[in-house]
């Protein structure tokens, strides 16, 4: 039975089609250290993640993708061409650097990766489709709207911050 403790057992090989890691050939070239922090989840695990997120009631509808009643603080960031600025915004206390988070996207496949990898591969992650990124605590959720806008919602006043950026 799928649980948060055994999700890695439900991972698949890196997909052969285009992903946030770009082509399969480019994905094969990333370091083992990075590969050990990225898990494409199979159908069963994706279903588990989808049910967990849906039961949270964070997502409202297409007009209001995040429930404003659920979070205390909401911060929006418009993505521009300055990749270093985007990485700094993502790094600045959003989620603990080594926490595993989940990507719930329109393509129907969930991905489990560390927040460090979200920052490292943000250029490919925040590209064309709407996605939610969240951890098991649901204390903070990042929503990417396909028109280059990020919204980070958090329940608490203080965000957690650990480590230094190392991408």
Any domain includes 117: yes
* Long-range contacts, stretch 67-70, CB < 8 angstroms, 24+ apart: 70/153, 70/155
Any domain includes 161: no
What is the rounded (10 degree) CA torsion for 105, 111, 117, 123? -30
Any domain includes 147: yes
Token duo for residue 119: 């920052």
Any domain includes 71: yes
Any domain includes 167: no
Query: Domains in the chain: how many in total?
Result: 1
Distance, in Å, from the CA atom of 56 to the CA atom of 9, rounded to the nearest integer, reads: 24
Going by C-alpha positions, the residue among 124, 157, 126, 151 that lies closest to residue 139 is 157
Any domain includes 139: yes
What pTM value is reported for the model?
Answer: 0.87
User: Are 135 and 142 in contact, with CB atoms under 8 Å apart?
Assistant: no
| Structural domain harbouring 21 | 4-154
Give 140's strand partners: 154
Q: What is the pLDDT along the chain (167 residues), one digit of tens a residue?
A: 999 999 999 999 998 888 899 998 999 999 999 999 999 999 999 999 999 988 887 876 666 677 777 777 888 899 988 899 999 999 986 788 899 999 987 678 899 999 999 999 999 999 878 899 999 998 888 999 888 999 898 875 444 333 333 33
């Amino acid at each position: 039975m799928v649980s948060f403790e055994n999700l890695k057992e439900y991972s698949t090989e890196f997909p052969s089609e285009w992903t946030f890691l770009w082509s399969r050939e480019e994905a094969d070239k990333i370091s083992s250290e990075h590969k050990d922090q990225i898990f494409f989840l199979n159908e069963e695990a994706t279903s588990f993640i989808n049910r967990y997120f849906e039961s949270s009631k964070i997502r409202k509808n297409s007009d209001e993708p995040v429930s404003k009643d659920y979070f205390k603080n909401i911060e929006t960031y418009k993505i521009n061409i300055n990749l270093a600025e985007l990485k700094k915004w993502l790094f600045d206390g959003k989620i603990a650097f080594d926490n595993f988070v989940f990507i719930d996207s329109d393509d129907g496949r969930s991905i489990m990766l560390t927040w460090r990898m979200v920052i490292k591969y943000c250029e490919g992650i925040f590209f064309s489709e709407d996605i939610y990124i969240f951890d098991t605590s649901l204390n903070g959720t990042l929503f990417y709207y396909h028109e280059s806008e990020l919204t980070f919602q958090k329940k608490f006043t203080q965000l957690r911050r650990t480590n230094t950026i190392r991408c």
